[in-house]
Amino acid sequence: MDLASKLFKGDRVIWVIFMFLCLISAVEVFSATSTIAYKSVTHWEPIARHASFMLGGFVLVLLMHNLPCRFYTLLSVALPVSVFLLILTFIIGVEINGEKRWLNIFGVTFQPSEIAKITLIGYTAFIMSKRNWFTDKQMFWWIQGATAVVCGLIFFTNGSTAVLLFSIVQMMMFFGQISIARLAKCWGILIAVVVLMVLLLWKMPDGVMEHMPERVHTWKARIERFFDPAPPVKIEPGKAVHIDGDDYQVVHAKIALARGGIWGKFPGHGQQRDFLPQAYSDFIYAIIIEELGIAGGIFVLFLYIALLVRVGMIARRCDKLFPKFLVLGCGLLIVAQALINMAVAVDLIPVTGQPLPLVSRGGTSTVISCAYIGIILSVSRFSAGMGNEDESDEPASDENPMGMEPETDGHGTENGPASVGGDTPVLDGTYEVEKTNPLEAVAEPEEKTITETKI
C-alpha cells in the first residue's frame, strides 16, 4: 500500500476512473478486433498493438503527474509547431481510411490534430490566466484568432474534431469570465453561418456537388441519412432483409444495442463486432452495450460523468488561474468527446467519427487521452493539494510558472502591497519587518524599527 501511495500521486478518484476505463478498453478492444485478427499473422497482434499504446500512455501518465503545473505553460509555446504539422498534413499527409489526416515522420505515424487539440487548450488556459497582461478584449481576440487558425486547418479533413475543439475553447472562455456580450455576439454569428451551411449543403443540386471535394459529399450523405424519415431497412413479407447501403453501420449498431439487454452477452460473445467496420473505434460503445448490457453502458457513462464532476472539484480548489483553466479544458474535452461517441452509437446525432477516449483502439488518440489524465492528476496534486495528505513537507501549489508574475483566482491582490513573508506595509512605501524572534524583541529597544526600501 505504501508503494502504491508513493507511485500514484494526485487525486485517487481520477486514478480509479482511469484504471476502470483502461480495463474496459483492454477487454472490449480485444473482443471487437476479431475482424482484424482474422487478417493478422496471430490473433494476438491487434490487442498487442493496442496494449503497447495503453502501456505507453500509462507510463506517460506516471511521468506527467509528477511534473508541476508550471511546466505545462510550454503547451502554448508548442502551438505554432502543431499548426506547422497541420499545414504539413495537406502536403505530405498519409491517407488512411480514405482521409489524409496522418503524418509519417521517421517511421512514426501520428495524427497532428490530436497534438493541436492539447496545445490549443494549453494556449487558451495560458492567455486567460494572464489578466495582468491583457485586457478582456485582447484575450478574446488572441484566443479566437488562434482557434480560428487551428480549427480551420482541421475542418476540411475532420470537421467533427474542429467543431468539438472550437466548442471546448468557447466553454473555457465562458468559464473564464470573458465578456458574455462579446461571446454571445460571436456565437450568434457562427450558429447562423452553420445553419445556413447545413441548409445549403442539404439542398445543393447534384450538378454543383460534382465539383465539390469528396469530404463535402460525406457530410451531405450523413445529413440526409439523419433527417430521412424513411426507415433504413425495408421489411417485405416473405423476403429476406438486406442491410446494406449508407445506413450499414447505424443499423448494425442498433442491432447490437437491442441484443445487449440488461446484462449483455458477455465479452467475446457479441455478434455485431463482425459486421461493424469500426466496431473497435467509432462504434465501440455499441459493442460495450451488446456484451456488457445496459448496465455496462450506464457504468461507462457514469465513469465519464464522475470524471467531469471530479475535474470541477479540482478546478474549484486550484489557487491559480492557469491550472484551473487547464484542468477544465482537459476534462471538458475528454467528456464531451465521449458523449458525442455515445450519442452516435445510439443514433442521437449523425455519424462523426469521434473515438471513445481511453477506450477505443487507436495510437495518437490513446496516448494524447492519457496525457490529458496526466495533466489532470498533476493539477490535482500540485495546485489543488489533493492526494498528498501523506506529504506534509510538500507545498500544495507550484511556484511562479516560467518565472512570471503570479496570477490569482481573484481573491487576492496581484500587484498591490500585499503582506509577504511577515512584512507589514507602511504608508511611505517601505516595509516594516516584524520581529518574530522574542529574544530579539527583548534585546533591542521598543521604539527601534528596521526598514528596508521597497524594490
265, containing H or E segment: none
Task: Classify each residue of 42-67 as buried b or exposed e, where b means 16 or more C-beta atoms within 10 Å of its C-beta.
Answer: eeeebbebbbebbeebbebbeebbee
Q: Is residue 178 part of a domain?
A: yes
Grid cell digits, residue 367: 496516448
Q: Is residue 87 part of a domain?
A: yes
Q: Count other C-beta atoms under 10 Å from residue 100's C-beta.
A: 16
Q: Is residue 29 part of a domain?
A: yes
Distance of CA 402 to the CA centre of its chain: 24
Q: Is residue 80 part of a domain?
A: yes
The radius of gyration of the chain's CA atoms, rounded to the nearest angstrom, is 26
pLDDT tens digits along 220-247: 777 777 776 666 666 667 666 667 666 7
Closest-CA residue to 25 (of 351, 338, 435, 389): 338
- pLDDT at residue 93, rounded to an integer: 86
- pLDDT at residue 34, rounded to an integer: 80
Q: Is residue 410 part of a domain?
A: no
Q: Is residue 20 part of a domain?
A: yes
Q: Is residue 238 part of a domain?
A: no
Q: Which domain holds residue 148?
A: 2-232+313-341+356-403
pLDDT tens digits along 154-166: 988 888 899 999 9
Closest-CA residue to 299 (of 17, 13, 28, 11): 17
- pLDDT at residue 411, rounded to an integer: 45
Q: Count other C-beta atoms under 10 Å from residue 342's C-beta.
A: 22
pTM of the model: 0.81
Q: Is residue 51 part of a domain?
A: yes
User: pLDDT tens track of the chain, all 455 residues?
Assistant: 566 677 788 899 999 999 999 999 999 999 888 878 777 777 788 889 999 999 999 999 999 999 998 899 999 999 999 999 999 998 888 887 777 888 988 888 889 999 999 999 999 999 999 888 888 899 999 999 999 999 999 988 888 899 999 999 999 999 988 888 888 988 888 889 888 887 887 777 777 677 677 667 777 777 777 776 666 666 667 666 667 666 778 888 888 999 988 999 998 888 888 888 888 988 999 999 999 999 999 999 999 999 999 999 999 999 899 999 999 999 999 999 999 999 999 888 888 889 999 999 988 899 999 999 999 999 999 998 887 655 544 444 444 444 444 455 544 444 444 444 444 444 344 444 444 444 443 344 444 444 444 33
d(CA 317, CA 319): 6
As beta bridge partners, residue 431 has 425, 452
Give the chain's domain count: 1
Distance of CA 326 to the CA centre of its chain: 10
